[in-house]
Chain A
Amino acid sequence: MKPSAFTRAALLVYGIAILAFLYLPLVSVGFASVSKGRYLSFPIRRYATGWYGEAMASDTVRDLLFVSLKVAGIVTVLSVVIGFFGALAFARYNWRFRKTYQKLILLPIFFPQTVLGLALLMWFNAIGVIPSWKTAIIAHMVWIAPIATLIISIRAYSFDPALEEAARDMGAGTWTTLREVTIPLLMPGIVSAGLFAFLLSWGNFPLSLFTTGADSTLPEWLYAKMVSGYSPLVPTVGILTVAASATLLAVGLTVPWVLKLVKRKTAA
């Protein structure tokens, strides 16, 4: 069915309204970061990019960046490894209580993260672990590893177990089968899971707030500065944080596509 002119116009307006709703606040943060004044007011009288220079030079920002990167990087690697084997265990083997276990494992995704963070903090205290960026990794894992497992599972369920059997039949051992067949076929899932894991950890605030102790990640610092000590450095760092996410996302989405194109070219 072809939509009528009216429907099409309505859809267009609706689409633009949604995009505006999603992205205008971000744009205003962008404006704030280039405003020379201390507080954002429209129209912006004088523009300045000085805050970006300041952000780059700041030791605080560099430390924050380092903690955030460290946490997100380690969470990504661990989540992907756990997700990979978890997905195989769910998709390949039929064991007792598999379905129940699968649901239990996914449950933390739907818990309010503040409650999860608080629970973990209490637990760390109880066993005498001092919260730091290391405990934040554990907290992030509780929430992100299930998501990574879920993403890789979708891929694992859709692939024919006969492919692995065929590899074994032709002489491949467990490790060779994994390297030659399983990993390459799950690769798209592994890449998406890694991307998700990194971005979710990078942008996470509630879990970090409770579990980083004396350390601080970028989102935590942004919140703290918003509450007290605001300067245009806050929107600047905010924009940089979002820009990093967007860049990673763009790279993550285009690289597989480019690789596919290259492969097709060389194969033809």
Chain B
Amino acid sequence: MSDTTPILRINALTKTFNEFTALHAIDLKVHDGEFLAIVGPSGSGKTTLIRLLVGMDEPSDGSIWLRDQRIDEMPANKRPTCMVFQSLALFPHMTVGQNIEFPLKLRKVAPEDRKARALELLDLLRLPQDYYSKRIDQCSGGERQRVALARALAFDPEILFFDEPLSALDYRLRKALEKELKDLHARTGKTFIYITHSLEEAMVMSDRIAIMRAGRFEQIAPAEEIYARPVSRFVAEFMGEVNLFPIRAGQAEGVTLSPAAASAFGGATGTLMVRPESLQFLEGEEHAELTFAGRIEAEYMLGSRVQYTVTLEGGQTLIAEVLRENAMPGGPGTPVRLGCAAAACHLIAEA
């Protein structure tokens, strides 16, 4: 995949607003047919980036290439890209059908063909055919979402951009639409670039995830890699609950390392990442490669799993998650020892 020309290539793209630099000379390559998620906290520059890519704003420096063509000077209405807005931007003065047909009408497609395509798209997005003549304000949030998608697909872009299109929906609908979007990506074979601030959402849908922080990419990698081998504390913490222990010259406070583990970390300095689900309770005097000792502070039922907050002897807090059948009887106050394998941990070189 990597030896073919990428569908989108960004070189040293920079955007400054007055004194403030929102994007710092970023590089990115996106492959044809890929589903790339761009994830980052609020204000990290996600919307700014996407607006440059579709042509809504002009870059301060750098270049954007669509296959072999440089497009950063091309006006938005000439670019073969399309964006689904956070607000969806459905035209309130048009029916569902007119909205979907809008890009086709601009291309002077005959009315019958337009209608046929709109009905096809309603089908693809699992909306009933009679929605064709509904007004936008008669549609629910989830239905509007689909209409916006249908309209973008009617445009038939080379790359489809999404700016947090699901953020306004309730949890269940969002989960359902995430799966549908992934499925739609597979069926259409288009390149999707999707902005979200939820890493969870990105993990469900995308092939690769680009983590953004203050106008730079912190890590661009497939979901498994981001999950297992984050390059920085920022990425590790962004993913939710993880245990991070500073490690100096192979010694981490609060953790007892077996001789094998100590040699595995070989005097490293950085941060040791231990995922809650890699931890297991130890019985008696049993030792693991990494051993933690402390008292249960609180326990939470998460359905099939149980989560524990443990206060270690050195005062640090450890989060552990175990399957229900491996739960620790006793509850808060119980002294416990937990362990995990060195291979299940990840060493972040950064301090």
Contact = CB atoms under 8 A, between A and B. Distances in A.
B135 A267 contact: yes
B56 A165 contact: yes
A170 B82 contact: yes
Contacts of A268: 133
Interface residues of B toward A: which range? 20 to 34
Interface stretch (A17-25, A171-179, A243-251): A171-179
A170 B135 contact: no
A162 B95 CA distance: 18
B92 A162 contact: no
Interface stretch (B20-28, B30-38, B100-108, B254-262): B100-108
Contacts of A160: 87, 89
Interface in A204-242: none
A185 B92 CA distance: 8
How many A residues touch the partner, as a band?
A: 20 to 34
B89 A171 contact: no
A144 B83 CA distance: 41
B155 interface: yes
A173 B77 contact: yes
Nearest to B135: A267
Interface in A136-162: 160, 162
B54 interface: yes
A166 interface: yes
Chain A binding surface SS class? helix
B155 A166 contact: no
A59 interface: no
B282 interface: no
A171 B151 CA distance: 12
A172 B106 contact: yes
15 contacts: A162-B85, A162-B87, A166-B85, A166-B89, A169-B56, A169-B83, A170-B77, A170-B82, A170-B106, A170-B151, A171-B78, A171-B106, A172-B77, A172-B106, A185-B92
Interface of A: 160, 162-163, 165-173, 176, 180-181, 184-185, 264, 267-268
Interface of B: 54-56, 75-78, 81-83, 85, 87, 89, 91-93, 95, 102-103, 106-107, 133-135, 151, 155
